[in-house]
Amino acid sequence: MDLLNTLVDKGLRRELPTREEALAVLATSDDELLDVVAAAGKVRRQWFGRRVKLNYLVNLKSGLCPEDCSYCSQRLGSTAGILKYTWLKPDEASQAAAAGVAGGAKRVCLVASGRGPTDRDVERVSRTIEAIKEQNEDVEVCACLGLLSAGQADKLRTAGADAYNHNLNTSEGTYGEITTTHTYADRVDTVQQAQAAGLSACSGLIAGMGETDEDLVDVVYALRELDPDSVPVNFLIPFEGTPLAKEWNLTPQRCLRILAMVRFVCPDVEVRIAGGREVHLRTLQPLALHLANSIFLGDYLTSEGQAGKTDLEMIADAGFEVEGTDTVTLPEHRADALAAAGCGSHGQGGCGSHGESEGAAHGEGEGAGGCGPCGSARQEPEPALAAAEHEASDARTDLVAVRRRGAGTDLAPNA
């Protein structure tokens, strides 16, 4: 296909595709799917080889969030039967993080539900970061605490944080349909505060809430402009007890097209398959490794993930290798730009250029800290098609399992 050849050429040059080209990727047929994966895979291998970075989530404080993000199991008014607990102590969080590191994780993501941290919360998380670094000096630590106030990003970096996650989630034009207690601009501001403090910015999106192709392209192009160092791609986990519980709009093929589009638009950025990969990609998860170079290991914030051992076997069976702590994740040009920005000694394994790449002038988890997956405007399908899609996907609700082990419990984590 001329389209795919063009996109590969642009990806190898770090050139921004046109919006029409990005939309065309999402519109390809199932007959063309393997061609799309192969083309995006060329771009992925150019910048990341066959390495897969492993990340591990630690939910520091679960549930009871005052924000009303419609997708989130921890939201205000959620009746999802998730674990609810207040702040883990630094040693408890460090112990949970150690399980992920032992399983091969290179980055630990510390997440807490809520609108944003108080200064006391930042001090608490800072002690947790220090405890983790004492045990595992080389591990990257990413904080995900919600909207930041002035000076808080600097304090986290001083404590040893390498990165900060805050996802855009969806397009600016449709953000208000999903969340009313904060704005899209609030999210952009927090990502920019993290970047200004020298933290590696992590910001991504959520797919699967009935959004249009245009919505998906809008948010991915906004991310390209914001230029985070890693882009998590979440697929909605429709928890019972949340407003989006009935939104089963994804197929494995759709997920692969979305990941391919993100790779073409953000060719040299760490693309991470985040929440919902087991639910929606299912047996096609190995194909997604040809598109993304990063995944979460084991469980998520409030839901169970694939067993960590199975993750490792999947990576090996697909012909990929787990990225070691001695390897810089991003290409040299992005890592060098990050070092020049003043954070080269913190987390260069997952950092980027903040506008270095051509066309760039133009952020884990599944809902806590105001950082998780979000949706956008509903696209009403044809009635017959809608019925068929829901009949097909409703059969897989058994794949959504609430986390009952790991952080906040007495049971061993899944890592």
Written as six digits, the tokens of 252 are 């494995």
CA distance 63 to 292: 29
- Which amino acid does the sequence have at 347? G
Among 29, 39, 45, residue whose Cα is nearest residue 254: 29
Give me the helices (H) in 136-176, please. Answer: 152-159
208: left (phi over 0), alpha (psi -120 to 50) or beta: left
CA distance 72 to 370: 9
Q: Which residues are catalytic?
A: 65, 69, 72, 109, 142, 202, 272
Report helix angle 152-159 to 119-135, nearest 10.
Answer: 20
Written as six digits, the tokens of 76 are 């205000």
CA distance 366 to 55: 14
Written as six digits, the tokens of 368 are 């806590």
Burial pattern 210-228, b for ≥16 Cβ within 10 A else e, equals bbbbbbbbbbbbbbbebbb
With DSSP H G I counted as helix, E B as strand and the rest as coil, what are the percentages for the chain, rounded to 5? 45, 10, 45
CA distance 350 to 340: 15
SS (H, E, C) 355-367: CCCCCCCCCCCCC
CA distance 209 to 250: 9
344 burial (CB, 10 Å; 0-12 / 13-18 / 19+) is middle
Give me the helices (H) in 250-307, please. Answer: 252-265, 277-280, 285-288
β-bridge mates for residue 61, sequence order:
112
